[in-house]
A and B are shown apart, each in its own frame.
Chain A
Amino acid sequence: MHYTFDIERGNFADAGQASSSVKRTLKQLGVAPANIRRAVVALFEAEINAVAHAYGGTIDVDIDGSKIVMVVADQGPGIPDLDAAMQEGWSTASAKVREMGYGAGMGLPNIKKNTDDLKIDTKVGVGTTVTMTIYLA
């Protein structure tokens, strides 16, 4: 099964709707709660990053019997130092983003922790694509 969603830049009123919708779908499919939690925490963090740090983007989710593959792609500013960004507590979140409840610098570490496979393609001035895989063993 394939699902796509659009993410809107800076729209914190609606941010998280795609992750919410994926959560409902995974529940309906009878995926184990622990795997649902891992998938939606990772997806939500990536969705929020696209809203907060980039200019919105798209989400593609593929679910089959053995795995969930989630791709969050944006045409944002890219991440200049990915190793630094992966560190707990590292954040460039703006004042507005902090007001919304983000900027702990825990999003990317949370994504890493909750996924079985993580690939981040990022290029300054071009954008960031985060590919997250959860195996449903």
Chain B
Amino acid sequence: MTIKEIARLVDGVIVGAPADDSYDVEKAFASDLMSDVLRFSMDETVLISGLCNNQTMRTSEMADLRVVVIGRDKQPDAEMLELAEELDITLIKSKFSVFKISGILYEAGIQPLY
């Protein structure tokens, strides 16, 4: 699934790095705890998180994540957006809860990471 398709499904707004149309997302993982994210390989995976700060970006960088859905209508600040661009990470801002986002993407065929 493309990043833009995910954004459409969660009624989200794309910010940070522009969406790479060639990137195929197959799996998702939802967590607000960054060390939980770093336990796994995040190939072809979208992170769904309610955490919205610089550490979301640094963790995504270490995990080689390319796309993060930020739930609960959290607003990344200017510094976070700058980091996202610099690190080539696309952010999708959604008003939906993390649970709802997860449900929508699951139903659309995105696989759980485990």
Contact = CB atoms under 8 A, between A and B. Distances in A.
Question: Which 3 A-B pairs give the minimum distances between C-beta atoms?
Answer: A16-B58, A106-B35, A104-B33
29 contacts: A15-B54, A15-B58, A16-B55, A19-B62, A20-B61, A23-B61, A23-B62, A33-B64, A37-B62, A37-B63, A37-B64, A44-B38, A44-B59, A44-B62, A45-B35, A45-B38, A48-B35, A48-B55, A101-B34, A102-B34, A102-B35, A104-B33, A104-B35, A106-B35, A106-B36, A106-B38, A106-B39, A110-B35, A110-B38
- Name the residue among B56, B58, B63 with the largest chain A CB count within 10 angstroms: B58
Chain A interface residue number, banded: 20 to 34
B44 to A, nearest CB: 14
Given A44-B38, A106-B36, A101 B51 contact: yes
Interface string B52-78: 011110110111100000000000000
Contacts of A130: none
Given A101-B32, A106-B33, A106-B36, A12 B54 contact: yes
Contacts of B34: 48, 101-102, 104
Interface of B: 32-36, 38-39, 41, 51, 53-56, 58-59, 61-64, 79
A104 B36 contact: yes
A47 to B, nearest CB: 9
Contacts of B32: 101
Contacts of B62: 16, 19, 23, 37, 40-41, 44
A95 interface: no
Nearest to B79: A13
Contacts, number: 70
Contacts of A45: 35, 38
A100 B51 CA distance: 8
A119 B114 CA distance: 31
A44 B55 CA distance: 11
Given A16-B55, A100-B53, A101-B32, A41 B61 contact: no
A107 B61 contact: no
Contact of A101 (B55, B64, B79): B55
B55 to A, nearest CB: 5
A122 B35 CA distance: 21
A103 interface: yes
